[in-house]
Amino acid sequence: MQRIDAHLHLWDTTRFDYPWCQGGAFPGLPATYLLEDAIAEDESTDTSYVVIQAEMDHASDPVEETAWVQSIADSHPQGDRIEGFVAYADLSKPDIEAVLERHARHTVFRGIRQEIWWQLPSSRPDILEEDLLASPTWRQGFGALAGVDACFDLTCWHTQLKQFAEFLSEYPTIPVIIDHLGSPIAGDEEALASWLEGIKALAARPNTFMKISGLAQADPNWTPESIRPLVDQVINVFGADRCLLGSNFPVEKLVSTYRTVWDAYRVL
């Protein structure tokens, strides 16, 4: 069976700014992580990658990141291992249709990830201080994804899952991939009850898919057995045919090796 890593980040701080990791919040992360770095950590020789946007400075033109990933896919000796790129765009911007059309000119483009988790005050540059789901402009902009046949990667708190499921009734055909198991909190029974209610609500929408990834976000001290109940839940709720596997590297590198993650998936 071919392995497709559905959640890999590439970044280059010599080329772009990434406020979330350059501000010192994640001191263990490499300053640069390129395709050759991912390949070097992978014992498999045929893994394909879906590259996910790396929260480049939102003040920059997001299409620059797409063009960069496209250049890697086109020029790297193993660039054909990049199956696609999920880019960034602010769906609340008035020019969102034009931005999406510019993304779509690149053959690696598959969809958009705009992180919608939020809190006041925000503890990190990649966590918003506004609830985009409460914004009529953002909700309308979400519909522009259909115009370029793009999917949406959902990164949010577990408390937002049910609300997002209700919102999706407005857009029943746009594919949505829930990142990182839907952000459960291992060991917190109240949070897990809310999370389970949310993933069930999302699974009831046929245009949703679950990405098993971000294990350390759910449990920083995870083992295959400690994470098994969460993985079993999402597979039971969504069905195996609506689940994807992702490494979340190099973010997961803070606690695991690439091989550790994939060995765990084999065990599970």
Give 55 or 121, the one with higher predicted confidence: 55
3-state secondary structure the chain: CCCEEEEECCEECCCCCCHHHHCCCCCCCCCEECHHHHHHCCCCCCCEEEEECCCCCCCCCCHHHHHHHHHHHHHCCCHHHEEEEEECCCCCCCCHHHHHHHHHCCCCEEEEECCCCECCCCCCCCCECCCHHHCHHHHHHHHHHHHHCCEEEECCCHHHHHHHHHHHHHCCCCCEEECHHHCCCCCCHHHHHHHHHHHHHHHCCCCEEEEECCHHHHCCCCCHHHHHHHHHHHHHHHCHHHEEECCCECHHHHCCCHHHHHHHHHHC
Give pLDDT, residue 127.
Answer: 72
Task: Give the right CATH number for 4-267 from 3.40.190.80, 3.40.50.300, 3.20.20.140, 3.90.76.10.
Answer: 3.20.20.140
The burial of 41, by beta-carbon neighbours within 10 Å (0-12 exposed, 13-18 middle, 19 or more buried), is given as middle
Instruction: Report the pLDDT averaged over residues 139-164.
Output: 97
Task: Give dist(CA 43, CA 21) in Å, integer.
Answer: 27
Distance of CA 2 to the CA centre of its chain: 21
Backbone angles phi, psi at 50, to 5 degrees: -100, 115
What is the amino acid identity at position 8?
A: L
pLDDT of residue 26: 78
CA distance 258 to 100: 32
pTM over 0.85: yes
pLDDT of 11-22, one tens digit each?
A: 999 999 998 887
Mean pLDDT, the chain, as a whole number? 94
Average pLDDT in the 26-55 region?
92
Distance CA 236, CA 135 (A): 33
Q: Tens digit of pLDDT for each residue in 121-150?
A: 766 777 766 889 999 999 999 999 999 999
Domain extents in the chain? 4-267
